[in-house]
Amino acid sequence: MFTPLLIILSLFSLTIPSSSSSSADVCIIGSGISGSSVAHFLRQYSLTTTTIAGIHMFDRHPVVGGRMATVTIAGETFEAGASILHPKNYHALNFTHMLDLKVKGPSPDDNAFSLGIWDGKQFLFKTIDSKSKSQVVQYFVSLANSVRMFLRYGISLLKMTSFVEVTVDSFLKYYESKESRPIFSTVEDMLKWAGLYNLTTHTLEDELVGLKYSPLLIQELITVITRINYGQSVRISGLAGAVSLAGSGGDLWAVEGGNWQMAAGLVNRSDVTLHLQEEIESVTNLGDFYELNSTKGNSYTCQVTVVATPLDELNIQFTPVISIPKRELQHTHATFVRGLLNPAYFGLNAVSDIPELVGTIESPELPFTCISVLKEHSAEDMTYKMFSRQSLTDALLDQIFSIRKETLRIDWGAYPHYHAPEKFAPFMLDDMHLYYVNAFENAASTMETGAVAAENIARLILSRLSGQWPQNSYGLKTSTSNSNLQHPEL
Ligand SMILES: Cc1cc2nc3c(=O)[nH]c(=O)nc-3n(C[C@H](O)[C@H](O)[C@H](O)COP(=O)(O)OP(=O)(O)OC[C@H]3O[C@@H](n4cnc5c(N)ncnc54)[C@H](O)[C@@H]3O)c2cc1C
Ligand SMILES: *[C@@H]1O[C@H](CO)[C@@H](O)[C@H](O)[C@H]1NC(C)=O
Ligand SMILES: *[C@@H]1O[C@H](CO)[C@@H](O)[C@H](O)[C@H]1NC(C)=O
Ligand SMILES: *[C@@H]1O[C@H](CO)[C@@H](O)[C@H](O)[C@H]1NC(C)=O
Ligand SMILES: *[C@@H]1O[C@H](CO)[C@@H](O)[C@H](O)[C@H]1NC(C)=O
Measured from the Cα of 263, ligand 1's closest atom is: 25
Question: pTM of the prediction?
Answer: 0.91
Q: Is 295 in the pocket of ligand 5 (CB under 6 A)?
A: no
Q: Looking at 100-114, 283-297, 379-393, 419-433, which range is the least confident one? A: 100-114
Higher pLDDT, 484 or 474: 474
Contact 443, 26 (CB under 8 A): no
Q: What are the start-end ranges of the H helices in 294-378?
A: none
Contact 450, 174 (CB under 8 A): no
Q: Is 198 in the pocket of ligand 3 (CB under 6 A)?
A: yes
Residue 17 has pLDDT above 80, yes or no: no
Q: Is 192 in the pocket of ligand 3 (CB under 6 A)?
A: no
Q: pLDDT tens, 398-409?
A: 999 999 999 999
Phi, psi for residue 359 in degrees, rounded to 5: -100, 170
Q: Whose CA is nearest to atom 2 of ligand 1?
A: 81
Measured from the Cα of 261, ligand 4's closest atom is: 14
40, 41, 90, 97, best to mutate for ligand 2 pocket (most atoms within 8 Å of CB): 90
Amino acid in position 63: V
> Average model confidence (pLDDT) for the chain?
90
Q: Whose CA is nearest to atom 1 of ligand 5?
A: 293
447, 452, 455, 457, best to mutate for ligand 1 pocket (most atoms within 8 Å of CB): 447
Q: Is 393 in the pocket of ligand 5 (CB under 6 A)?
A: no
Residue 469's pLDDT is 73
Section 86-92 average pLDDT: 97
Q: pLDDT tens, 35-58?
A: 999 999 999 999 765 589 999 999
Contact 280, 411 (CB under 8 A): no
Contact 427, 184 (CB under 8 A): yes
Q: pLDDT tens, 150-208?
A: 999 988 888 888 899 999 999 999 999 999 999 999 999 999 999 999 999 999 999 99
d(CA 255, CA 99): 11
Residue 86 has pLDDT above 90, yes or no: yes
Q: Is 150 in the pocket of ligand 2 (CB under 6 A)?
A: no
Contact 423, 325 (CB under 8 A): yes
Contact 426, 475 (CB under 8 A): no
d(CA 453, CA 170): 15
Three-class DSSP category at 161: helix
Residue 232's pLDDT is 98
Q: Is 45 in the pocket of ligand 2 (CB under 6 A)?
A: no
283, 299, 302, 305, best to mutate for ligand 5 pocket (most atoms within 8 Å of CB): 299
**2 band by pLDDT with thresholds 50, 70 and 90:** very low
40 alpha carbon – ligand 4 mean position (Å): 14
Nearest C-alpha neighbor of 203 from the set 231, 233, 235, 229: 235
Contact 233, 223 (CB under 8 A): yes
Beta-strand pair 115-118/103-104 = unpaired
Contact 455, 165 (CB under 8 A): no
What residues line ligand 1, using a CB cutoff of 6 Å?
A: 29-35, 58-61, 66-68, 81-84, 279-280, 308-309, 314, 316, 332, 334, 412, 414-415, 438, 445-448, 450
Q: pLDDT tens, 258-279?
A: 999 999 999 999 999 999 999 9
